[in-house]
């Protein structure tokens, strides 16, 4: 049926969320069923105020589309907003008013929930709407798919950053031999695990990786660091920001809150801050920490070309599905390797409800027995996702000293 299409972006930034937008618009532009192509500003929250722009006009120039593809973060703006029943009704009226029949929403769990509820309400009220979710999250924790668009670029960034930070820590071993890198990833360890992808030998960073799938006992942590330091003279640790201890308490909450707000809410330092102080106090080793924060989400300088292409592909697939009359689904990425084992990936679908209600943690087989590193199985899984090879750095063999006559 002929109608207009709207696309929105939602949730945290990635390096490739705009590539998905470009994929949706490219597919929609090539289909004569589509009338106008609208972009909602700031997701459904912005659409409550009918803040829409005309993407057919704004992206008519192929060079603009190409530039958009390589622009990190959400060009349309995003929100984290849970619509209530009345607001959903308002949005449906807006869809009707503008004859919007195709709705593509790029995001993670919460956005899938929003998209699902809109699809459901349209169905119940007899309004023909084809609502399709487009996956996006650096956390890589959406179910029913091999991996999530955005993760490959995050993984490439962290692999490189950890190598950089690692050779610095090695070079500075006499000054600050312990480095802790605190990374994102919500309740799953995919993000922290990615830091291992640049490692090519045991003495190289990272030496320890702690993911939220396993509780971390601060005393065990100290034993691990002491062991690595004894072996190599330096130690690089990567830790997920939500790693907890055996009682389920956030690691940073072991120390004192550094700030209490006017409501009495306590703010604790992150685990890296807490653990680096612990290392200094208990092991007498100087420790530093890096917290790349939002920078890790969306570095275009470290984008994975594979991720960029796949993000475009899921965008195209979403528009194609909507136009084929599918609704209440999310596009997925399914691995389908070639005949010689070369990496390949195709799109599939799952129900939006599946996505909305679950998160996918790392399987046990991706984390080692000790709970302090990833396994080869994880590395084999993740390596194809980061695009081309990583930079290789020069290293002197420090054991080949000039003989002292």
Number of residues that bind its own copies (CB under 8 A): 87
The answer to whether residue 13 forms part of the interface with its own copies (CB under 8 A) is yes
Q: How far is CA 52 from each of CA 77, 78, 347, rounded to the nearest angstrom?
A: 11, 13, 28
- Closest contact distance (angstroms) between CB of 353 and its own copies is 25
Specify the residue, 75 or 355, whose C-beta has the smaller distance to its own copies: 75
Q: CB under 8 Å to 18, separation ≥6 — which residues?
A: 9, 68, 69, 70, 71, 72, 73, 74, 75
Report the distance separating Cα 31 and Cα 36, nearest Å. 11
Contact between 35 and 99 under an 8 Å Cβ cutoff? The reply is yes
Which of the following is catalytic: 139, 141, 290, 328?
A: 139
**Residue 34 contacts its own copies per CB under 8 A:** no
Cα angle 255-261-266, degrees, rounded to a multiple of 5:
25
Task: For residue 171, give both structure tokens.
Answer: 């070079």
Rg of the chain's alpha carbons, rounded to an integer? 23
Q: Of 342-401, which residues contact its own copies (CB under 8 A)?
A: 391-398, 400-401
Beta strands at 259-260 and 266-267: parallel, antiparallel or unpaired: antiparallel
Task: Count CB neighbours of 354 within 10 A.
Answer: 16
Looking only at the bridges linking them, the beta strands covering 208-210 and 235-240 are parallel
For its own copies, the closer of residues 55 and 112 by Cβ is: 55
Range in contact with its own copies (rule: CB under 8 A) among 12-20, 83-91, 102-110, 220-228: 12-20
Cis peptide before 206 (omega within 30 of 0): yes
Residue 301: both structure tokens together: 């300088």
- Please give the Cα distance from 148 to 146 (Å, whole number): 7
Query: Which member of 30, 31, 82, 171 binds its own copies (CB under 8 A)?
Result: 171
Give the Cα separation of 305 and 389 in Å (integer): 11
What string marks each residue from 189 to 228 as x (binds its own copies by CB under 8 A) or -? Answer: ----------------------------------------
Nearer to its own copies, 40 or 367 (CB): 40
* Cβ–Cβ under 8 Å, residues 316 and 134: no
Binding residue for its own copies (CB under 8 A) from 73, 183, 209, 239? Answer: 73
Whether 113 is catalytic is no
Q: Is 297 in the site for its own copies (CB under 8 A)?
A: yes
Which positions from 315 through 344 interact with its own copies, judged by CB under 8 A? none
First to last CA, the chain: 88
- Considering only 215, 222, 253, 280, the residue that binds its own copies (CB under 8 A) is 280
Residue 39 binds to its own copies (criterion: CB under 8 A):
yes
* Number of C-beta neighbours around residue 222 at 10 A: 16
Distance CA 331, CA 353 (A): 12
The DSSP output letter for 250 is B
Name the residue nearer to its own copies (CB basis): 86 or 401.
401
- Contact segment (CB under 8 A) with its own copies among 207-215, 266-274, 355-363, 364-372 equals 266-274
Question: Among 7, 19, 24, 45, which residue interacts with its own copies (rule: CB under 8 A)?
Answer: 45
With CB under 8 A as the contact rule, the residue among 51, 120, 187, 368 that binds its own copies is 51
Extract the tokens encoding 155.
């993984």
* Binding to its own copies in span 125-164, by CB under 8 A: 160-161, 164
Q: In terms of CB distance, is 1 or 301 closer to its own copies? A: 301
Q: Does 257 bind its own copies (CB under 8 A)?
A: yes
Q: How far apart are CA 360 and CA 276, in angstroms?
A: 29
CA triple 308-103-314, angle to 5 deg: 20
Q: Is 267 in the site for its own copies (CB under 8 A)?
A: yes
Place of tokens 């309400």: 121
Nearest approach, Cβ of residue 300 and its own copies (Å): 6
d(CA 217, CA 65): 49
Q: Which helix (H) or strand (E) holds 35?
A: strand 34-40
18 is a site residue for its own copies (CB under 8 A)? yes
Q: Which is nearer to its own copies, 171 or 364 (CB)?
A: 171
78-97: which residues touch its own copies (CB under 8 A)?
Answer: 78-81, 97
Q: Which stretch binds its own copies (CB under 8 A): 113-121, 136-144, 260-268, 321-329?
A: 260-268
Stretches 53-61, 117-125, 222-230, 369-377: which one binds its own copies (CB under 8 A)?
53-61
Asked if 50 interacts with its own copies (CB under 8 A), we say yes
Catalytic residues: 139
């Amino acid at each position: 049926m002929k109608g207009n299409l709207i696309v929105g972006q939602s949730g945290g930034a990635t390096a490739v969320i705009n590539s998905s937008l470009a994929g949706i618009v490219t597919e929609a532009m090539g289909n004569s069923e589509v009338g106008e192509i609208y972009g909602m500003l700031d997701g459904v929250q912005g659409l409550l105020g009918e803040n829409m722009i005309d993407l057919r006009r704004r992206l008519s120039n192929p060079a603009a589309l190409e530039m958009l593809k390589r622009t990190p973060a959400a060009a349309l703006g995003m929100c984290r907003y849970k619509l209530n029943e009345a607001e959903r009704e308002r949005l449906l009226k807006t869809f009707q008013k503008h004859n919007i029949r195709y709705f593509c929403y790029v995001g993670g769990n919460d956005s899938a929930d929003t998209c699902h509820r809109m699809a459901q309400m349209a169905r119940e009220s007899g309004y023909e709407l084809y609502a399709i979710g487009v996956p996006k999250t650096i956390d890589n924790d959406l179910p029913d798919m091999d991996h999530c668009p955005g993760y490959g670029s995050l993984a490439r960034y962290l692999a490189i950053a950890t190598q950089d930070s690692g050779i610095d820590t090695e070079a500075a071993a006499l000054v600050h031999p312990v480095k802790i890198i605190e990374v994102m990833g919500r309740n799953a360890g995919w993000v922290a695990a990615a830091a291992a992808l640049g490692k090519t030998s045991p003495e190289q960073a990272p030496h320890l990786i702690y993911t939220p799938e396993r509780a971390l006992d601060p005393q065990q942590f100290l034993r691990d660091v002491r062991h690595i330091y004894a072996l190599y003279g330096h130690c690089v640790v990567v830790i997920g920001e939500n790693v907890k201890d055996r009682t389920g308490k956030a690691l940073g909450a072991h120390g004192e809150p550094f700030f209490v707000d006017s409501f009495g809410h306590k703010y604790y330092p992150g685990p890296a801050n807490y653990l680096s102080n612990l290392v200094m106090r208990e092991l007498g080793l100087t420790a530093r920490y890096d917290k790349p924060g939002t920078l890790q989400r969306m570095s275009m300088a470290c984008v994975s070309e594979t991720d960029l292409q796949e993000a475009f592909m899921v965008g195209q697939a979403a528009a194609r599905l909507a136009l084929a009359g599918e609704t209440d689904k999310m596009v997925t990425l399914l691995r389908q390797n070639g005949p010689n084992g070369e990496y390949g990936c195709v799109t599939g679908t799952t129900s939006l409800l599946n996505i909305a209600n679950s998160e996918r943690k790392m399987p046990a087989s991706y984390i080692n027995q000790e709970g302090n590193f990833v396994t080869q199985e994880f590395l084999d899984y993740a390596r194809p996702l980061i695009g081309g090879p990583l930079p290789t750095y020069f290293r002197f063999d420090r054991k080949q000293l000039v003989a002292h006559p």
